Structure 1
């Protein structure tokens, strides 16, 4: 499993989602002008990154079911 490059790409996408989520939560907790201007944009980026991560995870699982290494 760990010799498959798709595994590492899926893990990297998941880490990106987590980083965006943490950044968004921190800016929301701080409040202020930056959060008012960018809070929704940050969460939209998270949703997009999460969509890509889920697709990569599904692709990885599908490739493993098909007999891939």
Structure 2
């Protein structure tokens, strides 16, 4: 049973990193577009993508924390 939790935890950790990288890439692209275009009034498509990726990162971090809490509860 513990092996299943470790596998799920590792998968969640990988998804955290993937979401973080996607968010940073979207941030860099949106910053480049903002610098080239000048003033930006509304959120651009890349900024919305960045926000979505960062929210996904937070969700995966929550999953990882829940898995760790379950593992600690089962261990006792």
Q: TM-score range by the shorter chain?
A: 0.7 to 0.9
How many corresponding residue pairs? 63
| Pairwise CA distance, 1:62 | 2.9
Deviates more, 1:19-28 or 1:33-42: 33-42
Instruction: Flag the structure with larger Rg.
Output: 2
> Counterpart in 2 of 1:17?
16
Cα displacement (A) at 1:29: 1.1
Structure 2: which 5+ residue stretches go unaligned?
Answer: 34-43
Please state how far the C-alpha of 1:47 moved relative to its aligned partner: 0.8
CA root-mean-square deviation? 1.7
1:58 aligns to 2:69 (yes or no): yes
TM-score by length of 2: 0.68
Q: Stretches of 4+ moved more than 3 A in 1?
A: none
TM-score (norm 1): 0.74
Task: Give structure 1 stretches of 5+ with no counterpart.
Answer: none
Partner SS for 1:15: helix
